[in-house]
């Protein structure tokens, strides 16, 4: 279990480093071993808490490309990582770590694009920054084992593995979503993309979010759905 979070300023006002630190510190229980932060120095900040499981010595995050145009923060485990890594090595790809599934995911996304996640067998949520195309991608595994929340409020786009991480930001409203409350009292859970907090949504299982931050355009795309063929 790890935790990821981040934010993008939509009004050219960067969030304070302490606010980002507060976001990631609320998730220390998800990743007591290490934290990592990325900032482009202007509008984009990403952070994560890590529980070291795969490649304990070499799996630090965020992963940043040499040209600093791609950044990845990731929470999860890819069960077929060994096979996918072997395929890339046969094609001449070199790895800096011994068996980090984070590095594997990073290389696949860089070389094959966001829809290469269909190759993954595992549980995951991640944020992949593509500065060449001014896009941030968020993705969640097929059954939603790894959580991911997001919101757009007061000139900021923010996301996190946990609701309380987003709520640590000073500009986030804390109004209860009354429909979600009704659903919770009726069904014992909150269904659909909404959370219990009005204005904060959950990325649904098997979906990805594409955010074009220069145009402030947000798309939700279903990348997987079950097939019930005989």
Active site residue 2: yes
Report angle CA 190, 26, 150 to the nearest 5 degrees.
Answer: 45
DSSP 14-53: PPPHHHHHHHHHTTTTT-BSEEEEEE-SSSEEEEEEE---
For 62, phi and psi rounded to 5 degrees? -70, 155
HSE of 119, CA atoms in CB hemisphere, 13 A: 18
Helices (H), the chain: 17-25, 81-90, 101-112, 163-167, 178-187
Q: Which of 1, 2, 116, 214 is catalytic?
A: 2
If you search the block for the tokens 């480093």, which residue do you land on?
17
Q: Is 63 helix (H, G, I), strand (E, B) or coil?
A: strand
Q: What does each C-alpha distance from 35 to 22, 30, 60, 81, 170 come to in angstroms?
A: 12, 11, 8, 23, 22
Both tokens of residue 201?
A: 């949504």
Question: Which residues are the active-site residues?
Answer: 2
């Amino acid at each position: 279990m790890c935790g990821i979070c981040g934010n993008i300023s939509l009004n050219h006002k960067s969030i304070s480093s302490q606010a980002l630190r507060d976001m990631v510190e609320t998730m220390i229980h998800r990743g007591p071993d290490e934290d990592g932060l990325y900032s482009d120095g202007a509008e984009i900040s990403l952070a994560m808490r890590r529980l070291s499981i795969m490649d304990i010595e070499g799996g630090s995050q965020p992963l940043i490309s040499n040209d600093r145009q791609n950044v990845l923060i990731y929470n999860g485990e890819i069960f077929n990582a060994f096979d996918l890594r072997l395929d890339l090595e046969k094609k001449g790809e070199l790895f800096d770590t011994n068996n980090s599934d984070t590095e594997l995911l990073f290389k696949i996304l860089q070389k094959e694009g966001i829809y290469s996640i269909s190759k993954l067998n595992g549980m995951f949520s991640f944020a992949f920054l593509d500065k060449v195309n001014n896009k941030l991608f968020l993705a969640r595994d097929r059954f939603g084992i790894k959580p991911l929340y997001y919101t757009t409020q007061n000139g900021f786009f923010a996301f996190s593995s946990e609701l309380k991480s987003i709520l640590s930001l000073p500009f986030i409203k804390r109004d209860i979503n009354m429909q979600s409350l009704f659903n919770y009292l009726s069904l014992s859970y909150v269904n659909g993309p909404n959370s219990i907090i009005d204005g904060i949504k959950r990325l649904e299982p098997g979906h990805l979010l594409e955010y074009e931050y220069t145009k402030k355009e947000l798309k939700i795309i279903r990348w997987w759905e079950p097939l019930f063929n005989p």
